[in-house]
Amino acid sequence: MTSESPRLRPAVPGDYDRIVAVVDDWWGRPVRSNLPRLFLDHFHRTSLVAENAGEPAGFLVGFLSPSMPDCAYIHFAGVAPPFRGGGLARRLYESFFALAAAGHRTRVRAITSPRNSASIAFHTAMGFSVTGPVAGYDGPAVDRVVFDKRLPRP
């Protein structure tokens, strides 16, 4: 990892193009169809970007559930390969936990593909419970691992 410490800031809709341009590379497989523009247009106020020298080093796209008043949800988060292993994803998640708690949320949820062992290890390290793989979670033959974390009450 590099010696600089990326700066965290709230996302803006204009971040979309730079983020979607790197996600296939960061994930090592095609994932960009999971991140349509609507997520930055409509959820940028609860999403975060980590920047280094003006370039994205990491990001988190999340929202406060409009339908589950106790719940916040992390849809997509990633860290550029050179910045991995230095606690950047932890910083992004902890900033989102603070934002969720300020919005009176008591739990945070996320899901991942069963093949994404890095995501499962990361969420386990971050204190999420891990359920699954849940067969057919996202429709026929689309299994998902489900993460859930209770936030401490303020």
Ligand X SMILES: CC(C)(COP(=O)(O)OP(=O)(O)OC[C@H]1O[C@@H](n2cnc3c(N)ncnc32)[C@H](O)[C@@H]1OP(=O)(O)O)[C@@H](O)C(=O)NCCC(=O)NCCS
Site residues (CB under 6 A) for ligand X?
26-27, 77-79, 84-90, 116, 118-119, 121-122, 125
Q: What are phi and psi of 39, to 5 degrees?
A: -65, -35
User: What is the smallest separation between the CB atom of 67 and ligand X, expressed in angstroms?
Assistant: 22
Q: Is 35 helix (H, G, I), strand (E, B) or coil?
A: coil
User: Please, which residue, 91 or 105, has the CB nearer to ligand X?
Assistant: 91
In the bound state with ligand X, the residue whose beta carbon lies nearer, of 104 and 138, is: 138
Residue closer to ligand X, measured from CB, 3 or 140: 3
CB of 28 to ligand X, least distance (A): 7
Query: Is the preceding peptide bond at 152 cis, omega within 30 degrees of 0?
Result: no
Nearer to ligand X, 104 or 142 (CB): 142
The least CB distance from residue 79 to ligand X, in Å, is: 4
CA dihedral sign, ordered 66, 72, 75, 81: positive
Interacting residues of 58 by C-beta distance below 8 A, sequence separation 6+: 6, 49, 50, 77, 78, 79, 80, 83, 88, 89, 92
